[in-house]
A and B are shown apart, each in its own frame.
Chain A
Amino acid sequence: MEKRDTGQIHRRRNSSLWTAPAALLVFLIIWQGIVWLGDYPAFILPSPIETATAFARVLRDGALWRHTLVTLSEVLSGLILGVASATALGYFLAKNKYLERLLAPCIVASQSVPVVAIAPLLIIWFGAGHLSKVLICTLIVFFPMLVNTIVGIRSVDENLHELMRSLRASRWQTFKMLEVPAALPVLLGGLKVSVTLSVIGAVVGEFVGANQGLGFLINQARGLFNTPLVFVAIFTLVFIALALYGLVSLLETRLLRWRG
């Protein structure tokens, strides 16, 4: 009985290991098939092989690394800044109803303006360099993280708060031993959304005004009708988003082991 059970778990793990590469393979075959059937030129729809060739070229001359590192550093800086400021403000809003009633309308209103619309302003104010992109990422990450922090802190069991009070726990102890661990699942959910949004933020910023980064690379390659290079940049962005998302998922399974 036990042996059969472990066998089943094994099989399930194996199948999840196979599904991702299999899906990728199917995707490549369909892609190649469309290129063959439509007989499209490379500047409209490059084949997987043409894309791979472009990939190898920019990988060799170092351009891809350079642009990827720029975008990645913008994404991460913005993420850290946005998450830090949103969780700090969110904690105080969750604790203070009056403050929330005062600030919530302003925060929601700011969300009705798309980041794409504000991006040009930020470029004008903070230049076409690193800083403006970091700020765009910060802005785009801020709102979901803020909402999740408020929801997370508010959802802490009132009975557990009472327990901490009966134990005469200090505010700091309650924060450390109750509020942070209790809100962590919701916070990590917010972080998952935020990492992908931050990638979008960086690309939007680079589209509007930049001289490096993957968004800039896409813009430049498009101008030269170098569609294979556009594809390479897009796939790199997808890879960054997937890797960051996977990292947060990994963090989740490590930190939330108690949920089983």
Chain B
Amino acid sequence: MCIVGPSGCGKTTLLRLLAGLISPDQGEVRLNGQLLREPCSDIGLVFQKANLMPWRSVFDNILLPLQVQNTPKVQANERVEQALTMVGLSDFAAAYPRELSGGMQQRVALARALVHEPRILLLDEPFGALDALARERLNLELLQLWRASRKTVVMVTHNIQEAVFLADRVLVLSQRPGQVTAAIPINLPRPRELSLVYDNNFSALAYQVRQAIQ
């Protein structure tokens, strides 16, 4: 699922609510029927910036969630290795974040969000700061990861193409008050390839989403 909307409409706030980082003034957030009051270990979070610890190597950055959960060392190392392979950064395990490009840093962040095997992945404009090509590649990788793990993924973006390309459903948020004004199902076939972007159906759906945003 993707959430789109103009800037300042509360996309990020909504995601932070879902993550349990802030609590709602009114109403409640439920996860599988359970009331969510604080962050939950079943959620993996990727921020707008990679948000890595500069003093930790790539490996240790991905290890962080497992360290916090006190996962036994052998098991933890194994899972970090897996996550590294998944995002294709096995060769950079010992590198420090400053030695990586923006796209690679964001991939480390993705690996860190996945390493403790959460059921839900929350992405807050994860590729917003990247150039178009890097973004394309990471979108494809994200689809691949999703196909392999079938997690629930909620992604906030302001890029309509990205939203239509990735999602099964696109929610459109309106500006002040931030309300869901449309939920557009995306019935494009999977697996999706880059060429899909030039498809007529794709353009029609993208236009429909654009129309829903005031």
- Residues on A facing B (Cβ under 8 Å): 157, 159-160, 162-169, 173, 177-178, 181-182, 184, 256, 258-260
Contact = CB atoms under 8 A, between A and B. Distances in A.
B53 A168 contact: no
Give the interface SS of chain B, mostly helix, strand, loop or mixed: loop
Given A160-B51, A182-B55, A259-B98, 14 more contacts: A159-B47, A160-B53, A166-B19, A167-B39, A167-B41, A167-B65, A168-B39, A168-B68, A177-B68, A181-B53, A182-B53, A258-B55, A258-B57, A260-B98
Given A165-B39, A258-B96, A177 B51 contact: no
Interface in B64-106: 64-65, 67-69, 96, 98-99
B43 interface: yes
Contacts of B185: none
Given A177-B68, A178-B53, A258-B54, A168 B98 contact: no
B98 A163 contact: no
Chain B: interface residue count, which band? 20 to 34
B45 A166 contact: yes
A162 B15 CA distance: 13
B56 to A, nearest CB: 8
A32 B18 CA distance: 76
B96 A164 contact: no
Nearest to A162: B21
Contact of B68 (A169, A182, A258): A169
A160 B52 CA distance: 8
Contacts of B136: none
A177 B21 contact: no
B55 A163 contact: no
A182 B39 CA distance: 23
A258 B64 CA distance: 17
Contacts of B98: 258-260
19 contacts: A157-B51, A159-B49, A160-B51, A163-B51, A164-B68, A165-B21, A166-B20, A166-B21, A167-B39, A167-B41, A168-B39, A168-B68, A177-B67, A181-B53, A181-B56, A182-B55, A184-B55, A258-B55, A260-B96
A62 to B, nearest CB: 45
A168 B21 CA distance: 10
